[in-house]
């Protein structure tokens, strides 16, 4: 074989090798994006079967135990004649379609296995390995929540939620799920809300810390939850503009929003 031909063959070989390398990188990239997008569970602790889907985030398994999905909250189904919240039925139907009846699923536990209602707390793997919670988040049928200490997939769930939010899927087309200024929050507002404002005052009580958001809405952080706010100097947030997310409720006769995790407050500007 001539030297010229050898050089030509070598050049062609490295060209193919480069092409294969690029293809491999592309496939690895796709796999990584897919894994991130669907928050694949790292470990399955228990295999079981579905007996009944109660709503978009709660099921009963074949031995009668009730399982609450970790990391998401779906709209409430109406009970006792009450109307269902928007997209509650769709969330129920979607989870029912994903799980069916007598379908084998995988339960992946987090740091805390049961809640105060004695329900099992778990991430659910579908038969094909997909994460049930992320499927609902991706369709805009659930919001990402965090109830400490169960935050193992929080970062991934928030990313999937943001994708649905940016495309205004499902819940994200509703005005009540947009970010609202604290001063414009209705006195009748309740449920999970997204609020923006300036922290006007910091104060403490025996059990809680309060950050006054604007003139109307206190942010309440219980002292037992302070360990979830390590690295964030709450006292220094006075006069800072922030964005918070959480449940609006009435505490001691006044509307407030309780935060349980540092990921539920985002500092926009700090004065």
pLDDT tens-place string over residues 76-116: 999 888 999 999 999 999 999 999 889 999 999 999 999 99
More confident site: 14 or 76: 76
Structure-model confidence comparison of residues 152 and 28, the more confident one:
152
Q: What is the mean pLDDT of residues 257-270?
A: 94
Give the DSSP H or E segment for 30. helix 3-38
Whether pLDDT at 28 is above 50: no
Cβ atoms 182, 196 nearer than 8 A = yes
Residues 6+ apart with CB under 8 A from 59: 50, 51, 52, 53, 66, 67, 69, 95, 99, 124
Nearest to 221 by CA among 202, 240, 238: 202
Mean pLDDT calculated for residue range 118-139: 97
pTM for this model (two decimals)? 0.83
Instruction: Tell me which residues are annotated as active site.
Output: 68, 76, 119
Residue 38: closest CA among 138, 121, 120? 138
């Amino acid at each position: 074989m001539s030297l010229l031909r050898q050089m030509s063959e070598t050049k062609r070989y490295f060209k193919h090798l480069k092409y294969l390398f690029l293809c491999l990188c592309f496939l690895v990239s796709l796999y990584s994006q897919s894994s991130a997008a669907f928050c694949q569970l790292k470990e399955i602790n228990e295999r079981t079967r579905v007996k009944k889907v109660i709503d978009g985030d709660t099921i009963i398994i074949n031995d009668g135990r009730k399982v609450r999905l970790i990391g998401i909250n779906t709209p409430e189904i109406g009970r006792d004649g009450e109307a269902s919240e928007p997209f509650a039925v769709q969330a129920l139907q979607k989870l029912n379609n994903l799980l069916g009846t007598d379908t084998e699923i995988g339960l992946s536990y987090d740091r805390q296995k049961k809640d105060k209602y004695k329900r099992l707390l778990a991430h659910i793997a579908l038969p094909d390995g997909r994460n049930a919670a992320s499927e609902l988040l991706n369709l805009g049928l659930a919001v990402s929540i965090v109830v400490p200490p169960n935050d193992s997939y929080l970062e991934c769930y928030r990313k999937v939620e943001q994708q649905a939010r940016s495309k205004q899927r499902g819940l994200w087309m509703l005005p009540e799920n947009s970010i609202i200024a604290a001063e414009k929050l209705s006195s009748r507002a309740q449920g999970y809300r997204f609020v923006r404002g300036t922290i006007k005052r910091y104060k403490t009580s025996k059990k809680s810390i309060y950050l006054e958001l604007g003139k109307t809405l206190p942010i309440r952080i219980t002292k037992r939850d302070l360990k979830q706010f390590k690295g964030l100097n709450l006292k220094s947030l006075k006069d800072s503009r922030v964005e918070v997310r959480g449940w609006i409720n009435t505490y001691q006769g006044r509307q407030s929003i309780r935060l349980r995790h540092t990921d539920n407050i985002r500092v926009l500007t700090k004065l």
